């Protein structure tokens, strides 16, 4: 059977599956802990049956369990979105490397740079030189701090046409990372204007942090990457071995 996806996509799917398992394990653990706490009295650490000295920040009444569990779940969902963005950028960097194999001049032209003789000698072989060029180009594109521009510029020379609904649905979740990192998840007008039909939100309010939001994020980002893979393979822009 012919391979229909890149190794980069295979790795992304495997990593996301692991992240989904992590998300679900932590979510179930928090739900179970909350149930135990609600049926108990005294301090949280005692109610949950763990070492009070080790878990000294749980020396709080079980009556605060709802607040603590909501806080922990929110942190878990926030972390999941940030990690998903990192996995996606790693995938796009791998795609850039695959594009270099078939179109080295077009990739290098995305962020021109120079290499000294001493650097070339130190790198030792063409494989290392290729990796250095790809790293340089990707860093330059990433420095523009725009998820959409990063995606568009990596794919620009291929002229492939991504389905707009697939693209914008994935970007809605990927762009959440910027808000979480830089403004503690507070929605600005630019995000609301573009994505409020996909991610329920309001200007000046915090982004929603829910299990279903993260699950949708995984689904939509994988769908985008499948589309990128499919079009690049069909167009002969990347080799699949």
43 DSSP β-pair partners:
61
Q: How many CB atoms lie within 10 A of CB 59?
A: 12
**Rounded CA gap, 14 and 41, in Å?**
42
**Rounded CA gap, 83 and 17, in Å?**
12
Phi then psi for residue 151, to 5 deg, are -65, -50
Taking only the tens place, the pLDDT of each residue in 138-171 is 888 887 778 999 999 999 999 999 999 999 999 9
**Rounded CA gap, 163 and 150, in Å?**
17
Residue 109: C-alpha distances to residues 16, 96, 122, 147 (Å) = 32, 12, 23, 20
Closest to 110 measured CA to CA, from 85, 83, 140: 140
Q: What is the pLDDT of residue 121?
A: 60
Taking only the tens place, the pLDDT of each residue in 160-205 is 999 999 999 999 999 999 999 999 999 999 999 999 999 999 999 9
Residues of the chain with pLDDT under 70: 1-3, 113-121, 123-126, 241
Alpha helices by DSSP H, listed for 103-210, are: 104-108, 117-123, 126-142, 147-155, 164-174, 176-183, 189-195
Closest to 55 measured CA to CA, from 67, 43, 64: 43
**Rounded CA gap, 229 and 238, in Å?**
8
- Length of the chain in terms of residues written: 241
pTM (two decimals): 0.89
**Rounded CA gap, 199 and 42, in Å?**
39
Q: CB neighbours of 209 closer than 8 A, spacing ≥ 6?
A: 73, 74, 77, 78, 185
Domain ranges of the chain: 7-12+38-234
Under a CB-based contact definition with an 8 Å cutoff, are residues 94 and 135 in contact? no
Angle of helix 164-174 versus helix 176-183 axis, rounded to 10: 20
């Amino acid at each position: 059977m012919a391979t229909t996806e890149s190794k980069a996509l295979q790795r992304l799917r495997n990593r996301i599956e692991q992240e989904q398992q992590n998300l679900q394990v932590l979510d179930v653990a928090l739900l179970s802990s909350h149930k135990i706490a609600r049926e108990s009295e005294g301090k949280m650490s005692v109610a949950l049956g763990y070492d009070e000295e080790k878990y000294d920040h749980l020396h709080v009444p079980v009556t605060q369990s709802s607040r603590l569990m909501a806080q922990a779940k929110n942190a878990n969902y926030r972390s999941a979105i940030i990690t998903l963005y990192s996995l996606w950028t790693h995938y796009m960097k791998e795609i850039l490397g695959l594009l270099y194999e078939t179109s080295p001049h077009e990739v290098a032209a995305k962020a021109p740079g120079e290499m000294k003789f001493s650097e070339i000698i130190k790198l030792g072989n063409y494989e290392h030189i290729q990796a250095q060029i790809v790293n340089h180009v990707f860093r330059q594109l990433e420095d523009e701090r725009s998820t959409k521009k990063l995606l568009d510029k990596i794919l620009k020379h291929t002229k492939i046409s991504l389905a707009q609904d697939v693209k914008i649905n994935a970007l809605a979740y990927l762009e959440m990372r910027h808000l979480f990192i830089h403004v503690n998840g507070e929605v600005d007008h630019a995000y609301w204007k573009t994505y409020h039909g996909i991610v329920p939100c309001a200007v000046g309010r915090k982004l929603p942090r829910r299990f279903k939001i993260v699950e949708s994020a995984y689904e939509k980002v994988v769908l985008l990457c499948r589309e990128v893979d499919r079009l690049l393979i069909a167009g002969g822009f990347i080799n699949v071995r």
